[in-house]
Structure 1
């Protein structure tokens, strides 16, 4: 327990991400309707939170672009922002999620959860002893992120087509 508390004090975004994932999982599994954005209609809330979520997820690719260009300026600051934007995305996903739907919608939710989980279990939290372990983690995190975008595109197309 002491190790868990020390880790959460050292990396507070991890605790917030776990809280966001727990909230999203509870909403999805028990199909709880979130009335936090009560002035908006159901569709209005979905569009607003969906656009916000899309913006947050799109911003996450800034770190990848900087790595590809080998631009290491402000890398620590960009990594910190990347982590907190990921935490914010989990909470926005909790507001956006309504229920598990068709197989592809369950796939979108599952991939998003896996991205968040792999994001939380990063090098700072787990401290990979071998470089190959870190590379496997990085491949999984970025690979899942790349797989998410076609799924999100299909989700947007279907959601707007049936409204």
Structure 2
């Protein structure tokens, strides 16, 4: 219990993102937006939340490019913002997603959830004793994020083509 409390103080976003992933999974699996949340499933609402998600996704890549370019200016602030934007995007995803849909839509949702879960399992939450474990975690998180980009592009193209 003490370890959980220390983790909650050190990484308050961890509990919030786990709640967000649970909420998003529940909304999608129960198809609540086609049920009693039908107000949230209108095309205009989907465009607004989708645009916010794409904007957030673009913002999240700033941390990657800062690391690649070895730009350490405001690095800690960018990392903190990266984590909190990820939390916000997960809640926004819960509002945006209507249902699992076809195979590629299910894949998009699963990849989003895996990115959120790998994101929360960072060095601040789990103390990696060996650097290779951290590198595997980082590769998985960035690899899943890279996989998400073409899936999002396909989703936007299909969603707008059928409206």
Q: TM-score, normalised by structure 1?
A: 0.94
The answer on whether the counterparts of 2:20 and 2:87 sit within 8 Å (CA) in structure 1 is yes
Between the aligned partners of 1:105 and 1:35, the Cα distance in structure 2 is 20
Between the aligned partners of 1:69 and 1:11, the Cα distance in structure 2 is 26
Give the match for residue 42 of structure 1: 42
Report the secondary structure of 1:125's partner residue.
Answer: coil
Report the secondary structure of 1:106's partner residue.
Answer: helix
Q: TM-score, normalised by structure 2?
A: 0.94
Give the match for residue 95 of structure 1: 95
Give the match for residue 9 of structure 2: 9
Give the match for residue 28 of structure 2: 28
Give the match for residue 136 of structure 2: 136
Structure 2 vs 1, CA of residues 154 and 91 (structure 1 numbering), >3 Å: closer, same or farther? Answer: same
Aligned positions of 1:120-159 closer than 5 A: 120-159=120-159
In the TM superposition, residue 2 of structure 1 has moved relative to its aligned partner by 2.7
Q: Hey, which bits of structure 1, 4+ residues long, moved more than 6 A?
A: none
Matched length = 161
